[in-house]
Amino acid sequence: MYELVGRYSTGLTQSYTQFSLYEREVIRYAMRLNRPLRLRDVCFCLQSSDEFSRRIIRQLMSKKILRPVKYTTVRHHEYVLEENVRSFFW
């Protein structure tokens, strides 16, 4: 039911449909947070394990949707949305 409401409440554009359901949920959650996104936030949002949440974060980074807050560190703990992401959803 939740997927249908989300699907029909926004316009289905080409850019919107290129993301999986999990990726879209993480992007929506990150837009509502108003602070950098952490792994535990993604785990909470998706109700999933650390490993699955890391995979979703990596996919979003490869699609240039998320970027680490600090580029100088080896391990990234916080992520922010790129500036152009809101245009995919609004």
Res 53: pLDDT: 96
Contacts of 48 (CB under 8 A, 6+ apart): 42
**DSSP code string of 13-63:** -HHHHTS-HHHHHHHHHHHHH-S-EEHHHHHHHHT--HHHHHHHHHHHHHT
Please state the pTM of the whole predicted model. 0.77
At 17-62, the pLDDT tens digits run: 788 999 999 999 999 998 999 999 999 999 999 999 999 999 999 9
Give all domains of the chain, ordered by start, each with its CATH number: 2-89 (1.10.10.10)
